[in-house]
Amino acid sequence: MGDFYRGGRDGGNRRPPKRRYRSEEEEGEHQRRPRYDREDALQRLRRETIQIAESPLVKIEDAVKNIAMAYISSVFESDEFRPGYLQCLHDLVTEQPFKIPFVATIVRVANAENAEAGKAVLDHMVEALQSYVNQGLFQQVKLMLRFFACLGDVLGELGIAPLLDEMIVKLESYKKEGDEGLVLELTYIILITMPYARVSESKFGDAEAKEMLARIAPYTEINHVMQAMYDPFSGNASPYRDTSGQGNHMVRVLYQNLDSALTTEVEDDFSGIKCLPTPWKDIAPVAGTEYPMPTLEFPEEFPIDKSQLQPEIYFSVFADQPIETVPPPSDLAGTIFRDTIVDTINILDCNRLSVSRFLIEIDCFYNPKSFIKRATPYDRVNEVAESADSDDPSTWKPEDVAVDAIFSQLFRLPTPCHKLVYYHSILTELCKLAPAAIAPSLGRAIRFMYRNLEIIDIELINRFVDWFSHHLSNFGYTWKWTEWSEHLNFPDVHPKKAFILGSLEKEIRLSFATRIKGTLPDAFRELISEEREKEQPVFKFDLDENPFKIAGKELLVAVSERKEDAEVEPLIAAIATAAAEAGLADEADPRKYARDAYITCICHIGAKSLSHVLSCIERCKDKLLSIGHEHPDARRQIVGSVLSYWKDQPGIGANVVDKLLNYSVVTPLSVIEWVLLDAGPEALAKTYAWEMVATTIHKVNNRVRQIVAAKSSVLGAEGVPEDQIAIFQATLKSAQDEQAEILAYVEKRLSELATFEDAGDEVDVESVAWIQWWAKGWLRAFRRMFEVTEGKADTVMAESS
Amino acid sequence: MAAAIRKISTVQNLDAPSSYFEKRDANKRQRVSESVPKDDPLKDAATLYVGNLSFYTTEEQIHELFSKCGEIKRLVMGLDRFSKTPCGFCFVEYYTHLDALDAMKYVGGTKLDERIIRTDLDPGFKEGRQYGRGPNGGQVRDYYREDYDPGRGGYGGREQRIAGRN
């Protein structure tokens, strides 16, 4: 399967494409074998089990029964096969959450048939669960508990309820200042297990569930200290029709969902708790021998970084539509779908193709009545749902539910589980798999985001630009730009206009200007300047009006011919003298013009490609380092010279600056100062400006993190010499000082820009307002990056060691 | 981004290397000795081979796409060994193995410059490997290619040679 997307056109190729092998030896063997040939009993059963519920053509009753019987008859008795199959069941539970109810049904059937065979599975799972608890691997704990919940009365007449009760009791002991994330995580795990327990074959009924919910309620009101900063929307306006989810974390949303599901009668037979599949009802009504669940030990401390436990905030791109194509935030079904889809996405990042296939087929894993037929067009949803011959009145579109979940991760604050490009890749893959179903759904999502640009977090606007341009690059850059034509008259700093400009800029970076122009309607073509289509920027010393043109060209030749410093330095000095004679030089910094000329030469020599500029910087790094120290502002000016050379392609300029940062030619602070001070207030609306600052801050924060992480390996051993400890402390101190200095600067400068007034009447009133808006948004985003909580903004928080 | 490395066993992993190095090594191993246990040369590989590029795709475009998976340390364009012009492949070197694996998983098989590109883990660039090894100076596959591919110099080198002879 890994091969089908490989490059090349196989049409004319006589050689079959190369095959991939898998990393593990044992599976490697399995892969290379002709398919299904010579499979032993374990391999066959493993394959059938992993595919459970995937095909609507196979009757689930038959599949479950066959698998359970095969397990008992040909695998369970074999000491060679049994461990492998138990592991397979375990892996399926922790890797493919959609299938948990079906795996549990297999185990119920097996247990009713053969108590020993059932016990073997349960012993294996209990051991794994305890180990996950000890390690603080909460996602796995959650999925294991769900498996046990689905077993129902195999665990006793109340099913998993007694275990959940114990967990609720435990919650109190974890409630410590600063551990809000942990308590919320555990609370969420208990809550999300409840609906599965409720529909399981057990005596855990509404009354028991209500009682349990009442006891857990107080914990759902806890908020994470950073919560306000994690809201995807800033300001008070709500983009949703039903505002009950707005700004709430999913723990609270889930609590409210459960509360309403237990207290109000629903008329339909697909929403709320009824969305869940109950395969055991028809196939495995009998529990068989009861398996008393052993008590779980909960450690006092979990060996994890608890600051990483951050509750997700409710997010949807479809919750404002007149037609309800996803469950509203008040419906438990929405939270149940979201939970499992998000887990599937984040667990299976090793194979975006499998994930996409599951997402296209989500309706296979729930009550089939919960979803309208796949690929029903949006404008026909109501008609199809209401039609007389339809027995499913649900208007929920499976593709919208899936797409919504992906966007919730792409736009998750502070960061999603994986790199953003992973979520891009799933959306691309979905579009390739089912274009007719997915493309319109994405279109509506894009329009939602675009409509709400004025209230979305600035970091998310930049993620949106990044995704949108990357996505279009995979589909021939086709988009109906004309629907945004009316916004072309907006000032460039208006979020909508800035989004259009940013997206085109990033499209060009992935392609080239002429190509992108060709994909645009006329009015949009004008946004791309002619300079953008030139292969290389103009070398300013080639221009006749440049007073230093001869000296500049001489310098270019000298640097490109790799002359020694003894020959280069006099040329630089000559420019400095000429500038002084022309009255252009500042007495305090006489070499400013000369430095600019030198950097311009390096940029021009390196303009051919990134490798060229890199090798040029490498070659000249001593000179670059020394001129950076000529004046306190020298490094900031170096950044300016690079961006001025690359003014028409600032993305490349930003890359060059990033390389100079790696060589310490410029400092992080000088980069940030240039963007916030010299690039002009309008730069706040530009993607390259955002990227320069965000990348630089990430590097600084990462450096502190890496030093802190290395602490135990450097200082952990006994008898570490004093001087080594001192060196470590000094390194850490300087990195933290740098971090604090940058945060202080960002705070100060952005606060100034947030109240920016234009003295010279150069900027119109509307633009001034938007510049202030950007500055406030940047401030919020960067405070979040430095983990400064709202209200604590005055105290500069360096990361504690 | 707290993505702990987790081994997945119920679906295939897209970050596995192709059989290219396995085969090369298998040949070598037969020649030397069968029993010498050796380290997997790709276990810490931070370099990717990227194939099926258009000849016109620039380093900047490659950088733009691949830097979505992490900072790029070095980029080496594959060149026609006679004309020294790009011939449709490159090496992308990251700072970490993890970033290279992510690029395998998230970027391999997607489009760059409107072509589906292919990625493969590579034990690391060595001088000389930037040149095409086909008879025409470009990549071998372009010599034997029978279709017309405007992004890769039109018809394959062998077809062009035959056409020239007639």
Q: Phi first, then psi: what are they for B114, rounded to 5°?
A: 65, 25
Distance between CA A743 and CA A785 in Å, rounded? 10
Structural contact between residues B133 and B140, judged by C-beta atoms closer than 8 angstroms:
yes
**Is residue A404 pLDDT above 90, yes or no?**
yes
Contact B113 A510 (CB under 8 A): yes
Question: One-letter amino acid identity for A153?
Answer: D
Q: Tens digit of pLDDT for each residue in A558-582?
A: 999 999 999 999 999 999 999 998 8
Nearest CB neighbour to B10, from listed A50, A473, A474: A50
Average pLDDT over residues A182-211: 97
The reply to whether A222 and A74 lie within a common domain is yes
Query: Please, are residues A111 and A288 in contact by the beta-carbon 8 Å criterion?
Result: yes
According to DSSP, the residues that pair with A456 across neighbouring strands are A233
The pLDDT value given to residue A1: 37
Q: Are residues A650 and A748 in the same domain?
A: no
Query: Percentage of chain B surpassing pLDDT 70?
Result: 86
The answer to whether residue B82 sits within a structural domain is yes
Taking residues B95-111, report their average pLDDT.
97
Residue A308: predicted pLDDT: 86
Q: What are phi and psi of A286, to 5 degrees?
A: -95, 135
Residue B161 scores a pLDDT above 90: no
A652 and A725 both lie in a single domain:
no
- C-alpha pair distances (Å), B136 with each of A7, A265, B79, B156: 21, 75, 12, 9
Residues A644 and A581 in one domain: yes
- In a domain? residue B125: yes
Distance CA B52, CA B87 (A): 9
Whether residues A658 and A726 share a domain: the answer is no
- What lies within 8 Å, CB to CB, of A766 at 6+ separation is A491, A494
Question: What pLDDT shows up at residue A37?
Answer: 65
Cα A360 to chain centroid distance, Å, stands at 20
For A583-625, how does the pLDDT look when each residue is reduced to its tens digit (9 = 90+)? 887 788 889 999 999 999 999 999 999 999 999 999 999 999 9
Q: Is there a contact between B10 and A91 if contact means CB atoms under 8 Å apart?
A: yes
User: pLDDT at position A654, please?
Assistant: 97
Judged against a pLDDT cut of 70, whether residue A665 lies above it is answered with yes
Question: Residue A220 and residue A259: Cα distance in Å, rounded?
Answer: 12
Q: Provide the β-strand partners of residue B116.
A: B111
Give the span between the Cα atoms of B94 and B66, in whole angstroms.
9
A347: which 2 tokens? 């667990």
Q: How far apart are CA A410 and CA A420, in angstroms?
A: 6
Flag whether pLDDT at A794 surpasses 60: no
Q: What are phi and psi of A64, to 5 degrees?
A: -60, -45
ipTM of the complex: 0.92
Cβ <8 Å between B1 and A417? yes
Taking contacts as CB-CB distances below 8 angstroms, the residues of chain B near A11 are 147
Q: Determine the residue of chain B that is closest to A48 in CA distance.
A: B10
Distances, alpha carbon A536 to alpha carbons A604, A607, B19, in Å: 8, 7, 40
User: Is B10 among the domain residues?
Assistant: no
Residue type, A145: L
Counting every residue written for chain B, the total comes to 166
* Amino acid in position B88: G
Name the residue facing B18 among A18, A347, A610 (closest C-beta): A18
CATH of the domain at B148: 3.30.70.330
Q: In the predicted model, is pLDDT for residue B37 greater than 90?
A: no
Q: A583 and A653 share a domain?
A: yes
Percent of chain A with pLDDT over 90: 79
Of B52, B64, B113, the CB nearest to A7: B52
User: Which chain B residue shows the shortest CA-CA distance from A5?
Assistant: B109
- In this predicted structure, what is the pLDDT of residue A12? 39
- Contact call for A422 and B13, based on CB within 8 A: no
Residues present in chain A in total: 801
A350 interface with B at CB cutoff 8 Å? yes
* Domain assignment of residue B50, given as a range: 41-164
**Nearest CB partner across the interface for A352, out of B1, B106, B146:** B106
Contacts of B159 (CB under 8 A, 6+ apart): B145, B146
Whether residue A4 has pLDDT greater than 60: no
User: What is the total count of domains within chain B?
Assistant: 1
**How far apart are alpha carbons B156 and B145 in whole angstroms?**
5
For B119-157, the pLDDT digits (tens) are: 999 999 999 999 999 998 999 999 999 999 999 989 988
Helices (H), B78-120: 97-106
A644, A716: one domain: no
Residue A650, phi then psi, degrees to nearest 5: -60, -25
A232 and A106 inside one domain:
yes
Record: contact B12-A22, CB cut-off 8 A: yes
Instruction: Please state, in angstroms and rounded to a whole number, the distance separating the CA atoms of residues A707 and A736.
Output: 10
Closest CA to A100 of A63, A44, A147, A156: A147
- At B59-81, the pLDDT tens digits run 999 999 999 999 999 999 999 99
d(CA A92, CA A552): 67
Q: Under a CB-based contact definition with an 8 Å cutoff, are residues B52 and B76 in contact?
A: no
User: CA of B72: which chain A residue's CA is closest?
Assistant: A659
Q: Residue A460 has which token pair? A: 């998310």
User: Are A58 and A152 in the same domain?
Assistant: yes
Q: Are A576 and A531 in contact (CB under 8 A)?
A: no
Distance CA A614, CA B73 (A): 10
Q: Would you call the peptide bond into A322 cis, given omega within 30 degrees of 0 as the criterion?
A: no
- The residues, ordered by sequence, that sit 6+ positions from A165 with a Cβ below 8 Å of its Cβ are A212
Q: For chain A, state the CA radius of gyration.
A: 31
* Contact assignment for B74 to A348 by CB distance below 8 Å: no
How many Å apart are CA B96 and CA A676, to the nearest integer? Answer: 31
Domain stop point among A284, A308, A332: A308
Per-residue confidence (pLDDT) for residue A225, from 0 to 100: 87
Return the pLDDT at A788.
Answer: 67
Nearest alpha carbon to residue A126 among A86, A80, A78: A86
| Token code pair at residue A553 | 């060209």
**CB pair distance less than 8 Å for A610 and B75:** yes
Q: Rounded to an integer, what is the distance from CA A678 to the centroid of its chain? A: 32
- CA A469, distance to chain mean position in Å, is 16
B-chain residue closest to A652, CA distance: B60
Mean pLDDT of chain A: 91
**pLDDT given for residue A373 in this prediction:** 93
Q: Do the domain assignments include residue B17? A: no
For B8, phi then psi, to 5°, come to -110, 135
Residue of B nearest to A23 (CA): B16
In a domain, A321, yes or no: no
A449-463, A540-554, B102-116: least confidently modelled range: A540-554
User: Does any domain span residue A655?
Assistant: yes
Residue A796's pLDDT band (boundaries 50, 70, 90)? Answer: very low
Nearest-CA residue of chain B relative to A696?
Answer: B71
A643 and A746 co-located in one domain: no
Distance from CA of A242 to the nearest CA of B (A): 31
Q: Please tell me the pTM assigned to this model.
A: 0.92
The answer to whether residues A125 and A144 touch, using CB atoms and an 8 Å cutoff, is yes
CATH number at residue A103: 1.25.40.180
pLDDT at A216 over 70: yes
Q: Are A505 and A687 in contact (CB under 8 A)?
A: yes
Burial zone of A801 (CB within 10 Å; 0-12 exposed, 13-18 middle, 19+ buried):
exposed
Query: For A610-726, where are the E strands, in sequence order?
Result: none
Q: What is the pLDDT of residue A282?
A: 85
Cβ–Cβ of A474/B20 closer than 8 Å? no
pLDDT tier, A725 (very low <50, low <70, confident <90, very high otherwise): confident
Of A7, A11, A27, the CB nearest to B118: A7
* Six token digits for residue A179: 């551990």
Please give the interface size between A and B, counted as residue pairs whose CB atoms are below 8 Å apart: 167
Cα–Cα nearest to A554, from A539, A538, A533, A536 = A539
Return the amino acid letter for A306: K
Q: What is the pLDDT of residue A311?
A: 92
Comparing alpha-carbon positions, the chain B residue that sits nearest to A653 is B60
| CA nearest neighbour of A447 among A686, A691, A239 | A239
Domain count for chain A: 3
- Rounded Cα distance between A400 and A443, Å, is 11
Residue A595 confidence (pLDDT): 95
* A424: contact with B, CB 8 A cutoff: yes
Q: How far is B143 from chain A (nearest CA, A)?
A: 11
Let me know: does B121 contact B48? Beta carbons within 8 Å: yes
Which residues of A are less than 8 Å from B60 in CB distance? Answer: 509, 609-610, 651-652, 655
Sheet holding B86-94, edge to edge: B72-79, B86-94, B47-51, B118-122
Given a contact cutoff of 8 angstroms between Cβ atoms, the answer to whether B17 and B43 are in contact is no
In a domain, B143, yes or no: yes
Residue A638 lies in a domain: yes
Residue type, B92: V
Residue B25 lies in a domain: no
Q: What is the pLDDT of residue A356?
A: 98
Tokens of B7: 């081994």
Same domain, A590 and A724: no
Chain B environment of A304 (Cβ under 8 Å): none
Name the nearest CA neighbour of A120 among A62, A168, A79, A158: A79
Q: Which amino acid is at A684?
A: L
A733-782 pLDDT, tens digit each: 999 999 999 999 999 999 999 998 877 767 889 999 999 999 999 999 99
Q: Answer yes or no: is A601 within a domain.
A: yes
Given a cut of 90, whether residue B29 has pLDDT beyond it is no
Q: Tens of pLDDT along A8-59?
A: 344 334 444 444 443 433 444 444 545 556 788 999 999 999 999 998 888 9
In Å, how far is A368's CA from the nearest CA of chain B? 25
Q: Strands of A596-744 (E only): list them.
A: none
Residue A412 lies in a domain: no
The reply to whether A47 and A140 lie within a common domain is: yes
Residue A783 within any structural domain of the chain: yes
User: Given a cut of 50, is residue A726 above it in pLDDT?
Assistant: yes
- Say if CB A113 and CB A288 are below 8 A apart: yes
pLDDT higher at A338 or A756: A338
Of residues A109, A206, A210, the one with CA closest to residue A150: A109
Please say if the pLDDT value at position A303 is more than 50: yes
Could you give the CA distance from residue B79 to residue B81 in angstroms, rounded to a whole number? 6
CA–CA separation, A461 and A718 (whole Å): 49
What is the pLDDT at residue A234? 83
CA distance A427 to A487: 27
Question: pLDDT value at position A21?
Answer: 42
Which residues from A are below 8 Å from B71, CB to CB?
Answer: 658
**CB-CB under 8 Å, A21 with B64:** no
Distance from chain centroid for Cα A752: 31
Q: Contact, A663 vs A617, CB < 8 A?
A: yes
How large is the average pLDDT for residues A220-243? 88
pLDDT > 80? residue A3: no
Residue A607 lies in a domain: yes
Residue A99 pLDDT: 98
Contact A242, A328 (CB under 8 A): yes
In a domain, A622, yes or no: yes
Q: Which residues contact A721 (CB under 8 A, 6 or more apart)?
A: none
SS (H, E, C) A112-178: HHCHHHHHHHHHHHHHHHHHHHHHCCHHHHHHHHHHHHHHHHHHCCCCCHHHHHHHHHHHHHHCCCC
Question: Per the structure block, which two tokens stand in for A693?
Answer: 């600052």
The two structure tokens encoding residue A178: 């600063």
Classify A726 as helix, strand or coil.
helix
Domain assignment present for B63: yes
Show the domain range for A194. 41-238+292-308
Question: By the 8 A CB rule, do A199 and A278 touch?
Answer: yes
- 3-state class of A458 per DSSP? helix
